[in-house]
């Protein structure tokens, strides 16, 4: 009896590995996202968005039934290489989707580049991923850290502010967001007079807020996201700064956070590639379907997850699910116009979305569209050789 069962198990395992080798079996999607820590909610929204698109496609991408293998990356760069290697070598995933944190994403991109595994980054903005680390098999469905920062630099300069203090977490995303802001703001004649930072994911802002009060700048520019953004906005208001020194940010400051921030976020202006009130047929349908499926309002992270699945679907449809046809997959995504809830976009030569960056203002529980701050903004893709 035992021998019969063992033989049956072996036959099933063999059939599944043959199917996988022939690219006809289930499509194993390695989802590497944070499920714990300050970015946990962002990971959930990305996964929800991804699953929503897969469900809309009957549970399939490129004609293959999708199976998920999940890893909680904890937004910890020190564990990233091990985590991604487990997905590729132990779990034999066909494609990788991840992640939120720029430092973790850079480790993923390094392994993806070395192994040739198809990777779609559904959030992390690390400029290097579509810069010096760019590769034919690496795509991003989100943004580069430079994009919202640069757009806000132009907005703040147009408002007539001259001296700005910046404050962020000291890691790639914070540094690059500030760099993008500074590039545009100083080109327009402004000056960043002080750059404040604290280690990720610390939220002890008090001493830095005291420095801002003492510096008396015309305005403050910031990058924070997730749980850290909730606390920063509340602390900024509690310190009495909100009414005296206007606070501007990359839109992550107020996306997916408004329930928790309450009135302290009201009126804040941010720049991002999504807003809650776009009102297009595509966005309306997406928001309705998302709310129905998850009993939650979508945010930018949900959109990026949805679009990561759309991009994979486009690439895989072109090769009928055969993930070994890497060049054809890349060519299909490169020439696609992705019908995103944010507005249709295509990717740059380095595989980063070329997209409108919106100026939004918090009103109640929404990031309301004010205007298009930057039309079809393309990351410069500095250092990418493709
Ligand atoms: C990043 O690490 O790239 C990132 C994290 C959260 C929101 C946006 C960017």
Return the pLDDT at 55: 98
CB 14 within 8 A of CB 198: no
Return the pLDDT at 299: 98
Tell me: pLDDT of 356 over 70.
Answer: yes
- The residue to which tokens 């993923």 are assigned: 108
Average pLDDT over residues 32-51: 98
Distances (CA, A) of 223 to 59, 106, 178, 186: 36, 19, 7, 18
Angle between helices 172-187 and 146-158 (to 10 degrees): 30
Residue, of 218 and 21, whose pLDDT is higher: 218
Ligand 1 probe mutation, 44, 100, 126, most atoms within 8 A of CB: 100
Tell me: pLDDT of 336 over 80.
Answer: yes
Average pLDDT over residues 356-376: 98
CA of 173 from ligand 1 middle (Å) equals 6
Confidence of residue 173 (pLDDT cuts 50, 70, 90): very high
pLDDT in tens, 218-268: 999 999 999 999 999 999 999 999 999 999 999 999 999 999 999 999 999
Tell me: pLDDT of 2 over 60.
Answer: no
Q: Looking at the whole model, is its pTM more than 0.85?
A: yes
CA of 324 from ligand 1 middle (Å) equals 30
Query: Cβ < 6 Å from ligand 1: which residues?
Result: 39, 100-102, 123-126, 145, 173, 225, 252
Ligand 1 probe mutation, 42, 99, 101, most atoms within 8 A of CB: 101
Return the pLDDT at 3: 52
Report cis status (omega within 30 of 0) of the bond before 99.
yes
Return the pLDDT at 9: 47
Return the pLDDT at 7: 53
Return the pLDDT at 382: 97
Residue, of 162 and 9, whose pLDDT is higher: 162
Phi, psi at 261, each rounded to 5° = -80, -25
Ligand 1 probe mutation, 127, 131, 142, 173, most atoms within 8 A of CB: 173
* All residues at 6 or more sequence positions from 336 whose CB lies less than 8 Å from its CB, including other chains: 311, 314, 346, 347
Average pLDDT over residues 80-90: 97
CA of 202 from ligand 1 middle (Å) equals 15
pLDDT in tens, 276-314: 989 999 999 999 999 999 999 999 999 999 999 999 999
CA of 64 from ligand 1 middle (Å) equals 31
Angle between helices 281-294 and 40-56 (to 10 degrees): 110
Tell me the average pLDDT of the chain.
Answer: 95
CB 41 within 8 A of CB 3: no
Return the pLDDT at 5: 55
Question: Looking at ligand 1, which atom is closest to the CA of residue 124?
Answer: 3
CA of 124 from ligand 1 middle (Å) equals 5
CA of 143 from ligand 1 middle (Å) equals 10
Confidence of residue 345 (pLDDT cuts 50, 70, 90): very high
Alpha-carbon span 59 to 333, nearest angstrom: 20
Tell me: pLDDT of 20 over 60.
Answer: no
Return the pLDDT at 277: 83
Question: Looking at ligand 1, which atom is closest to the CA of residue 75?
Answer: 2
């Amino acid at each position: 009896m035992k021998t019969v069962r063992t033989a049956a198990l072996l036959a099933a395992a063999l059939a599944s590995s043959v199917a996988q080798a022939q690219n006809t079996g289930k499509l194993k999607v390695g989802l590497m996202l944070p499920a714990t820590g300050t970015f946990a909610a962002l990971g959930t929204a990305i996964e929800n968005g991804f699953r929503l698109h897969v469900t809309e496609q009957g549970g399939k991408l490129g004609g293959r039934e999708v199976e998920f293998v999940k890893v909680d990356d904890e937004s910890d760069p020190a564990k990233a290489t091990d985590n991604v290697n487990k997905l590729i070598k132990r779990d034999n995933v066909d494609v990788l989707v991840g992640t939120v944190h720029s430092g973790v994403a850079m480790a993923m991109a390094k392994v993806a580049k070395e192994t040739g595994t198809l990777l779609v980054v559904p959030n992390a903005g690390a400029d290097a991923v579509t810069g010096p680390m760019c590769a034919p098999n690496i795509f991003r469905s989100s943004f580069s850290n430079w994009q919202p920062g640069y757009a806000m630099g132009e907005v703040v300069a147009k408002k007539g502010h001259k001296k700005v203090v910046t404050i962020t977490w000291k890691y790639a995303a914070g540094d690059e967001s500030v760099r993008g802001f500074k590039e545009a703001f100083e080109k327009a004649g402004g000056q960043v007079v002080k750059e404040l930072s604290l280690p990720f994911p610390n939220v002890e802002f008090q001493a830095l807020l005291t420095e801002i009060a003492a510096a008396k700048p015309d305005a403050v520019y910031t990058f924070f996201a997730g749980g850290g953004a909730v606390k920063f906005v509340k602390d900024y208001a509690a310190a009495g700064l909100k009414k005296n020194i206007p606070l501007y940010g990359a839109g992550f400051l107020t996306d997916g956070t408004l329930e928790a921030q309450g009135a302290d976020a009201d009126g804040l202006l941010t720049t991002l590639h999504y807003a809650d009130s776009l009102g297009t047929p595509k966005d309306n349908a997406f928001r309705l379907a998302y709310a129905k499926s998850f009993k939650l309002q979508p945010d930018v992270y949900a959109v990026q997850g949805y679009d990561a699945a759309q991009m994979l679907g486009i690439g895989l449809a072109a090769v009928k699910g055969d993930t070994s046809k890497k060049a054809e997959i890349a060519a299909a995504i490169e020439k696609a116009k992705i019908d995103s809830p944010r507005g249709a976009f295509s990717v740059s030569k380095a595989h980063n979305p070329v997209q409108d960056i919106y100026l939004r203002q918090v009103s109640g529980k929404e990031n309301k569209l004010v205007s298009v701050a930057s039309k079809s903004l393309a990351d410069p893709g500095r250092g990418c050789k493709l």
